Amino acid sequence: MRWIVDGMNVIGSRPDGWWRDRHGAMVTLVHRLERWATSERLEVTVVFERPPDPPIRSTVIDVDHADAAGPDSADDEIVRLLLGADDPGGVCVVTSDSTLTRRARSAGATVHPASAFRDVVDPP
């Protein structure tokens, strides 16, 4: 199964002070996703609403971002990736955004709640 992760939705699912170091929270999420993807042998893409600055690189997962930051820009990028997938039914989108959930399900994907997913990759 391929996983497409709404990065800031997962980060924001736990009030752990991430807003004090947004970039650090993004880097931490990428590292946790790398460990999880490696241990489970999964294809994972994390999507942020704007390019991380400085860039975050990974040889294990895809780190993606919307072309232009704005309201729902990461959601639009996730849907674009989903619609471009060979088998959208084989994709799980991680988000707690209700509009993105509807859009992903309409495209044939399954959806996993962000907070429950965070507990998998970053146990409390």
Alpha carbon 51 to chain centroid, angstroms: 13
- Other Cβ atoms closer than 10 A to 101: 18
Structure confidence at residue 97 (pLDDT): 95
pLDDT at 69 over 80: no
pLDDT band at 42 (very low <50, low <70, confident <90, very high): very high
Angstrom distances, CA of residue 115 to CA of 2, 47, 86, 88: 19, 16, 27, 23
Element housing 54 (H / E): none
Cα 114–Cα 58–Cα 27 angle in degrees, nearest 5: 55
Mean pLDDT of the chain: 95
Distance CA 45, CA 33 (A): 9
Amino acid identity at 104 = A
Q: What is the CATH number of domain 2-85+92-121?
A: 3.40.50
78-97 pLDDT, tens digit each: 999 999 999 999 999 999 99
C-alpha–C-alpha distance, residues 62 and 46, integer Å: 6
| pTM of this structure | 0.94
Confidence class for position 73, pLDDT limits 50, 70, 90: confident
